[in-house]
Amino acid sequence: MRERPFSQVDVFSGTPYRGNPLAVVLDAVDIDDEALARFANWTNLSETTFVLPASPEAAAQGADYRVRIFTPSRELPFAGHPTLGTAHAWLEAGNEPRDPSAVVQECGVGLVRIRREEDRLAFAAPPLARSGPIAADDLAEIAAFVGVGVSDVVDANWIDNGPGWSGVLLASADAVLALEPDFSRLGSSSVGVVGPYPNPAAGSPQFEVRGFAGGAGVWEDPVTGSLNAGLAQWMMAAGHAPDHYIAGQGARLGRDGRVHLDRIDGQVWVGGSSVTCIGGTIIL
């Protein structure tokens, strides 16, 4: 064990303690898998990331670093707020990407490009591993979990980009905020629910999102990049959302997350601000 650089970053918020926290170990060389999992369980955050040198194959394709993403209970091939938070911490530590305009991250789903914008970072949403309509029996189970009738669901789709997300569209943001899920029904499923705001003011969220990540051992995630990525890919393609919108998430948990979704030349980008709340070293 030795001292290693460490940051705890608040993601999808420019104001400390209003977004989704992420633990980032900036040097994870020579740590075995058991120790990685144990530390992620100890932080008790929805995700902890560990930065490593890119593999030779990924480096040859432009990767700046490799990241491993752990929940308290398992490793994920991809997750959104860990992608942005890790890139933020990596840049803040003085690292320079090969391409000045973007960071290229290697993770379980492959290479993810992270665009550098004026006041935030944005990642390119990876292709969905599973998409398409949700079968009637599965939809009935999801509706029972979130506490609505199937007739209250405007539309639903699989939007799995790694964590196993299903997406459910309700008629309004108020309906989303009013949900009282029955977590005994969630099991290992990961369910995202979204609803529109009527006539939102400029710069305000057009949609409210809630994410329930039983598959990651998290009852309700404060602000979720992978979920918003999948929702945007589905809703933009289906005509439920415009090519540029802001999603709010975390209100029921006392947070105020803001996720910026943009479709540019067919590619969905998921952006948000990050702020470092804790910096120093850990022994690992």
CB of 89 closer than 8 Å to CB of 280: no
CATH architecture, domain defined by 3-126+271-283: Roll (3.10)
Is the model's pLDDT at 216 over the cut of 70? Answer: no
Length of the chain: 284
Q: Where are the domains of the chain?
A: 3-126+271-283, 130-257
Q: pLDDT tens digit string along 248-273?
A: 999 999 999 999 999 999 999 999 99
Percentage of residues of the chain with pLDDT beyond 90: 88
Beta strands in 222-256 (DSSP E): 244-249
Helix (H, G, I), strand (E, B) or coil at 66: strand
Amino acid code (one letter) for 120: R
Between β-strands 207-213 and 190-196, what pairing exists: parallel, antiparallel or unpaired?
antiparallel
Q: What single-letter DSSP state applies at residue 256?
A: -
**HEC profile of 7-40:** EEEEECCCCCCCCEEEEEECCCCCCCHHHHHHHH
- Of 209, 101, 235, the closest CA to residue 156 belongs to 235
* Cα–Cα distance for residue pair 144/238, rounded to 1 Å: 24
- Using DSSP's 3-state secondary structure scheme, residue 162 falls into coil
Nearest C-alpha neighbor of 92 from the set 51, 43, 31 = 51
Secondary structure (3-state) at 1: coil
Of 130, 128, 176, residue with least CA distance to 153: 176
pLDDT tens digit sequence for 171-211: 999 999 999 999 999 888 899 999 999 999 988 999 999 99
Rg of the chain's alpha carbons, rounded to an integer? 18
- Where is 106: in which H helix or E strand? strand 102-107
Instruction: Check 34, 47, 106, 141 and give the catalytic one.
Output: 47
The pLDDT of residue 215 is 67
Q: Each residue of 39-84: pLDDT tens digit?
A: 999 999 999 999 999 999 999 999 999 999 999 989 999 999 999 9
pLDDT at 188: 86
Reply yes or no on domain 130-257 having CATH 3.10.310.10: yes
> Distance of CA 273 to CAs 18, 26, 33, 158, Å?
11, 19, 30, 27
225 within 8 A of 260, measured Cβ to Cβ: no
277 exposure class (CB count in 10 Å sphere: 0-12, 13-18, 19+): middle
Is the torsion defined by CA of 108, 81, 22, 211 positive or negative?
negative
Q: Is 13 a residue whose pLDDT tops 90?
A: yes
d(CA 62, CA 142): 40
| Same fold for the pair 3-126+271-283 and 130-257 | yes
Query: Is 34 among the residues known to form the active site?
Result: no
Q: How many degrees, rounded to 5, is the angle at CA 112 between CA 106 and CA 114?
A: 115
